[in-house]
Structure 1
Amino acid sequence: MMRDHLVQRLLKVIDLRDWDQLGTLVTDDVRYDRPGYPTIHGVAQLLDFYRHTRVIADGRHKLESLLTDETQGFCWGSFEGISRSGEPLFELFADWYVFEADRICRRRSFFYKPAI
């Protein structure tokens, strides 16, 4: 069974800022790697990141492509929104996911910015 719906739902829930629902889409021991932040371990740290640390106040993901199989997925697209300080945001992104028991157990985000 493909997991497209799981990735699409995750991004929609994040865009809606529905943090309670977000917790139902990931495993208790979820791991999230995101540039510029320490690795997030566990659902409690993930929810704390989205509620208090993430610099984004509001915005929407727009998927350009999504590929999944039973165990992992990859998507890319753009994000447009506004920061907590009121600055406009636009970023190209790619995400890699690992699935376990119809939930996301690992996510790694990549952003299209100069780094090295």
Structure 2
Amino acid sequence: MLGDSRTHGPDLRRAVQGYYDALDADDMESVLEFFSGDVLYQRPGYQRMVGIDDVRRYYEQGRLIAPGRHVLRTLVVEGNNVAAHGEYEGDLKEGGRRTVGFAAFFVFDGNGRAAEHTTYFFTPSV
């Protein structure tokens, strides 16, 4: 499912795909350009990240996975909101290979940059 293609302004579907492509290529400058400067970034198990410096620190120091491959199965666009569902497959920085499903939610600002990003992973936790 590709979502609503009748959007005006930035192509948010393409922006989200570009974000995951940049992650997979380990292109941190493009990853960081995807976000607004005051982005709110949330992931279970991590402190809330507020601002691009927190996000940069996470990607440079806190991220547990090495660059791998994100396969998007579903992208739904509604206004400035995008929901993505897919799988990550790649290596852990501490060793071992991992395939895990994820769901991610983005809210974009008026400049076409992600102002909010929340990701959930399909792993046992409760």
TM range (shorter): over 0.9
Residue 38 of structure 2 contacts residue 115 of structure 2 at CA under 8 Å; is this kept in 1? yes
Distance 1:17 1:46 in 2: 14
Identity %: 28
Alignment deviations for residues 55-80 of structure 1 (CA, whole Å, 9 cap, x no partner): 11221100001011331010101000
Residue 23 of structure 2 contacts residue 67 of structure 2 at CA under 8 Å; is this kept in 1? no
- Report the TM-score when normalising by structure 2: 0.87
In structure 1, the residue matched to 2:24 is: 15
Root-mean-square deviation (Å): 1.1
Letter in 1 for 2:83: F
- Report the TM-score when normalising by structure 1: 0.94
The unaligned stretches of length 5 or more in structure 1 are: none
1:84 aligns with 2:64: no
Match of 1:38 among 32, 47, 53: 47
The structure whose Rg is larger is 2
Distance 1:23 1:80 in 2: 21
Distance 2:31 2:96 in 1: 25
- Work out the number of aligned pairs and report it: 116
